[in-house]
Amino acid sequence: MRGRIGATLAPAVFLLFLVLPLSGLTRAAHRLAAVLAAVVVLWITEALPLPVTALLGAAVCVLLQVAPAKEVFAPFADPLMFLFIGAFILSRAIFLHGLDRRVAYAVLSLPWVGARPSRILFAFGAVTAAISAWISNTATTAMMFGIGLSILAALRAPDSRTSIAPAYATALMLMTSFAASIGGLATPVGTPPNVIGLGFIRARLNVEIPFFSWMLIGVPIVVILFGLLYWYLNAVAPAGLRELPGSADVIRQERARLGPWTTGQRSVALAFVVTVALWVLPGLVALVAGEHSAIYQLLVRRVPEGVAALLGALLLFVLPGEKGRAMTWPDAVQIDWGVVLLYGGGFALGVLSFQTGLAEAMGRGLTGVLPISSSLGMLVASIVVAVVLSETTSNTAAANMVVPVVISIAQAAGFDPVEPALGATLAASLGFMLPVSTPCNAIVYGSGYIPLRQMMRHGLALDLAGILVVVTLVRLLSPLIR
């Protein structure tokens, strides 16, 4: 139904904006407003696949002569696009060689975890968040979802001496999704909205946020928000018993089944370590020698994040695997190209909104409507809007829609736009209430262990906690990146 509504409403909104007398706009900005309005409708209703909508918006901009094709499609070659591609290839290799499962079972089988449900919940969530900081939230959820189901199946088996409470099964499944979404905030490559926000901040504000600098804000947010998530789920959804007989055995058996480290796993681990080292090294050099040192400037110029990601990914085609190389081209092209195209199309529309003056006009108009009288109010409003929008559409689309508008509003109101833009970028990943909010939520909802009302209730609590944490830490820590 939502798709049919979008298919009808989007053309109507497009034509309406074309004929409306929008005063103060150039012809190009007027036409872009019509395109953006239709794209927003299609993104929210998902009448078309999100990448298709992004490409359609860019193509229509060329047809309507909003800008020449060379300018419209220039963002598709932005260096951050190659950060996406390189990181996705690394993620694909980690998944194909089972390195993620090896790490997960290694942590879950630690002696201190044992058979205690609260410790299993904590370790399970911590592993999920840690893996999600480096690979796709959706891929992390899909992998940990299978592990979680194996644990629950063993605990609920007919020959089990005790039975866990249904609430604990709900909590473990919710931990799978929520921890993956939270963990993606730790690094720029953890989730696509991070890269999208960084792109707008760099392109429109000329502010570079290096990999390590992002982690100075992202990691504390993840640690605090995950701590709150664990405390909340452990309190409201107890297992009903102190220990879960059989759970430790199941985990040890699954880990033993993985066997010794393979050649491919060692190669992928090496490529991953090299990539992370290249991402973090400039930040460490800046801390020791300063951002104006010659070696820091050399690293930033020669090995930006996108190049580091490509070097790590290309290393996979050189290092050995079980049968030939650690990565083959047919495997590499299985990455999520849709997200790459969605980023390119959304970034193109955002850049055009600034070039045509549409973003500035929207910022002036919204500044007069919204009751924002301080930089803190601007930050809170940006984060709340991003969270609400992420509940109704994809996190990636939410970031594409909210971040450029937030920058314009902040500039029109005379506030520093970096802080609200960063807050909106982080908040775009905080959609926890509904199965349709993120693919992570949809995956775990399909387990049958999560009643819809429980997901909404627990998701709302985490949304509110996320807003508070992001507002506080962005306010306190954003000076570290300036």
What global pTM score does this model have?
0.73
Model pLDDT, residue 295: 85
Contact 428, 390 (CB under 8 A): yes
Residue 158 has pLDDT above 50, yes or no: no
Query: DSSP states of 54-122 as a string?
Result: HHHHHHHHHHTTSS-HHHHSGGGG-HHHHHHHHHHHHHHHHHHTTHHHHHHHHHHT-TTTTT-HHHHHH
Evaluate the CA torsion angle 190, 260, 314, 439 in order and state its sign. negative
Mean pLDDT of 46-73: 90
Q: What is the pLDDT of residues 75-97, one digit of tens each?
A: 888 877 887 788 788 878 888 88
Task: Answer whether 289's CB lies under 8 Å from 121's CB.
Answer: no
pLDDT for res 199:
86
Domains of the chain by residue range? 79-201+208-332
Whole-number Å distance between alpha carbons of 478 and 262:
42
The span from the CA of 40 to the CA of 404, in Å, is 13
The one-letter code for the residue type at 392 is T
Reported as a pLDDT band with limits 50, 70 and 90, residue 271 is very high
**Backbone Cα Rg of the chain:** 23
Range with the largest mean pLDDT of 6-20, 136-150, 280-294, 340-354: 6-20
Q: Can you give the pLDDT at residue 471?
A: 93
The predicted pLDDT at position 6 comes to 87
In the prediction, which pLDDT does 73 show?
92
Query: Is the predicted pLDDT of residue 14 greater than 90, yes or no?
Result: yes
**pLDDT tens, position by position, 382-408:** 888 888 877 766 677 778 878 888 888
pLDDT at 371 over 80: no
- The rounded mean pLDDT for the chain is 83
